[in-house]
Each structure stands twice: as C-alpha cells, then as structure tokens.
Structure 1
C-alpha cells in the first residue's frame, strides 16, 4: 500500500459520510416542511378554538338521574355544555331547540365521534333534579341536565368564564331572573376545554364545526 493510499481512502470515506449526512439533512428538512405544511389552522364557521387546551378544574355536580356529574363524566366523549335555567323565557329554550336540530343533523352522518349534550342550571334554588329531568328530556331524551349548590357551580363556571347573576324583578311573577352567558362550551374526550360557540348559534354551522374539529383532533394535526 502506498503512502498516499491512506489519505485517499480517508477522503473517500469522508465524502461518503458527507453525502450521507447531506441526504439526511435534506430528508429531515423535507419532513419538517411537510409537517409545517400539514399543521394548518382549522377554519371554523362559528366555533372559536382555544389556542391552548386545558383541563377543567375539579368540580362535582349532580345530573338529572341523581348521579355525580364531574370531571370523570367528561372523559371518553365530546361534551357540549350550555348554561342557564329552566325558567328562562327565551335564550335557554332557543338554545335547547338548536341543540335538538344540531343533534338531528349529526345523527344523519354515517359516523361521528361520541358526544353528549348537557344543560347546566345556574338556578339551583328553583331547578330541582326532577324539574331538570322534565326540561331537558322534553327536547331530547338523551340530553343531560346538571346542577348543584352555588359553590359547586362556581368551580365549573368561573374557570370557563361563564357569568351569571340573579336579578330581582318585582313586576314578574317569577320573582327573579338569572342573567347568564349564552356561550356553548365544547369539552374534548380528555376533559379539556377545546372550543366555544358564541351566539347567535346556528345548528348547521355548529354541526359542521363539530365534524371538522373532531376530524382534526382524530388525525392529530
């Protein structure tokens, strides 16, 4: 072997390694570009997606079956939550009717991710579990009603930004009304606050957004 053989073999080996590394860098760049291209913001018609998902703070209420409704109840399926009270003269029955329409639209799809529709009463003084049961099942037997004492309700509503207050009405036979947020909250199967729908609500747009959101989440994009 000549004295110059070793350097030539070294250069050849280095060139081969450089080519390999160059190929890996190109592949890595292309993969990175592909990932960046695939992660596109999800376009929605009515839903506002949270930029950062977060788990709900611990809470515990009762549903209209007399069972516990808490963080564990949110796991394994998507959950739509609206907030109001059964004596509400306008917003709540309108929202529940829209839920019913949205539910019918989603049921027509060949396949949707599991979901529940839950109405949370912020008027526990008047909304007993029996009254809640009658109210929510009037719109759909599968809908769920939930409520609890004021401190328990606050543990759910405050972190979600749901506002409500009692307003005395002397000229009303009801004695008082509950002013409350009309937004609808969407919680994912991991119990995380995922999106919200601001009024005015449209059942078709909500159904479309739900399908888009669940497809997006399923693909992990």
Structure 2
C-alpha cells in the first residue's frame, strides 16, 4: 500500500470512535416513540452492548446481492448481524467477514440456536455491483447476504444507526478513492429492532457466546 493510502487508513480508528459516540448521541437525544421495554432480566455479555430500549429500524430499502429487495420486512423472524463497508476495503472488511465466518461456525456447532442472518452492507455502490458483492460475501460463506443501494437509500439505514462513512480521494493510488467507515457491528432482533452492537476489536468466540446468551435469554414480545 502506498504512503498516501497508509495515511488515509490511519484515519479509520478516529472514524470508528466518532461513530460509536455519534450512535449513542443519536440514540439518547433524538425524540423517540418508545416501542418496547428492555430485556426482562440482565443478560451477561462479553463484548455486546445491549441498547437500553429496543426500537425498530427506520424505514429503508436496499437490494441484495441476488437482486432481491432488502428492507425492514427482511429483518423479521430472525436475528441479523449487520456490518458496513465495501469490497475494495484493504483490511477492516475482509477481517470482519473472516471473523463472521468463524463466529458462524462456532454458533452452528451448538446443538440448538435461534435463526440468524449475516448481512454485509456496501457503502460503495459506485464500484460494488451486485455481481461483485455476490462474489465477495459468498466467498466467506454461501449463507451470507450482501446488500447495497443508492446513497439516499444507504443514508436512510446508516444515519439513524450512527454508522458513519465517507469517500476519501487518493490521487496517487490505483484505487482512486477509499471509503472511511465505521467498523461497529449491529445486532437486530427478530422484530427488526436495534438490539445491540459490537464495537471493535471484535472477537469471534465472544460474539458467538454473546449471541447465544442474548437470543436464549431475551424475551421477544410478540
């Protein structure tokens, strides 16, 4: 990687930190219509931070790597791990996807787990065609889903969640530009509500353990 790219990549930890703070600010300061109560009993987690109250994601509409609609309805009936990045990402994204693959194997090794989906949302629709997105996510596991959409559609999903990203031009690089983005992972419950998030550095074993604990002990109102 060239020196310019390296300097750009050095901005990512700052973006990540700002993202987490921004997410919490959005959570506590925006006027909300509370839709549900917290968990009935404390859930002990190793890495996950549970939201103080669970609320549905704002309306959004993207497209999956196989051309299907991906929106709020797509989240219902199963848990969803959601990460954000782009396929040309040199480090954070492939690391996260590899971690998802390991986490997936650990969860599947359990005799009985609640249904869940791993979704990778590309914030670089200019370069990440559905075909490229399909090749990327299924490389890590055939069950993983890739989704993207135009900028306005992406903002409808990311902004309320406090997920930040921005395009950074790299004139001296063959890549043309990179995308600085948050590395946080969002966990959405089977009612389509923002339930918890995982801040970096991530650990596959801890995430698997936390998911099993959260999905087993959390009462999901019907």
Q: TM-score range with shorter-chain normalisation? A: 0.7 to 0.9
Q: Give the whole-Å Cα distance in 2 for the aligned partners of 1:61 and 1:182.
A: 20
Is the contact made by 2:137 and 2:144 (CA closer than 8 Å) also made in structure 1?
Answer: yes
Normalised by the length of structure 1, the TM-score is 0.81
Q: Deviations over 1:146-202 (max 9, x none)?
A: 000000000000000000000001121100000000000000000000000000000
CA shift, 1:41, in A, is: 2.4
Q: Give the whole-Å Cα distance in 2 for the aligned partners of 1:144 and 1:40.
A: 32
Q: Higher relative contact order at CA 8 Å, sep ≥6: structure 1 or structure 2?
A: 2
Q: Give the whole-Å Cα distance in 2 for the aligned partners of 1:55 and 1:219.
A: 13
Task: Say if 1:73 and 1:172 are closer, same or farther in 2 by CA, change over 3 A.
Answer: same
CA shift, 1:216, in A, is: 1.5
Structure 2 spans left out of the alignment, 5+ residues: 1-38
Q: How does 1:48-197 map to 2 (within 5 A)?
A: 48-197=49-198
Q: How does 1:191-210 map to 2 (within 5 A)?
A: 191-210=192-211
Select between 148-157 and 165-174 the one with higher mean Cα deviation. 165-174
Bigger radius of gyration among the two:
1
Q: Deviations over 1:98-129 (max 9, x none)?
A: 00000000010000000000000000000000
**What residue in structure 2 maps to residue 212 of structure 1?**
213
Q: Give the whole-Å Cα distance in 2 for the aligned partners of 1:107 and 1:84.
A: 25
Structure 1 spans left out of the alignment, 5+ residues: 1-37
Is the contact made by 2:54 and 2:193 (CA closer than 8 Å) also made in structure 1?
Answer: yes
Q: Give the whole-Å Cα distance in 2 for the aligned partners of 1:146 and 1:61.
A: 6
CA RMSD of aligned residues (A): 1.3
Q: Give the whole-Å Cα distance in 2 for the aligned partners of 1:203 and 1:197.
A: 11
Q: Give the whole-Å Cα distance in 1 for the aligned partners of 2:69 and 2:220.
A: 32
2:218 aligned counterpart, secondary structure = helix
Q: Give the whole-Å Cα distance in 2 for the aligned partners of 1:218 and 1:159.
A: 24
CA shift, 1:133, in A, is: 0.2
Normalised by the length of structure 2, the TM-score is 0.80
Q: Give the whole-Å Cα distance in 1 for the aligned partners of 2:213 and 2:42.
A: 12
2:212 aligned counterpart, secondary structure = helix
The number of equivalent residue pairs is: 183
Moved over 4 A (4+): none
Q: Give the whole-Å Cα distance in 1 for the aligned partners of 2:40 and 2:142.
A: 39
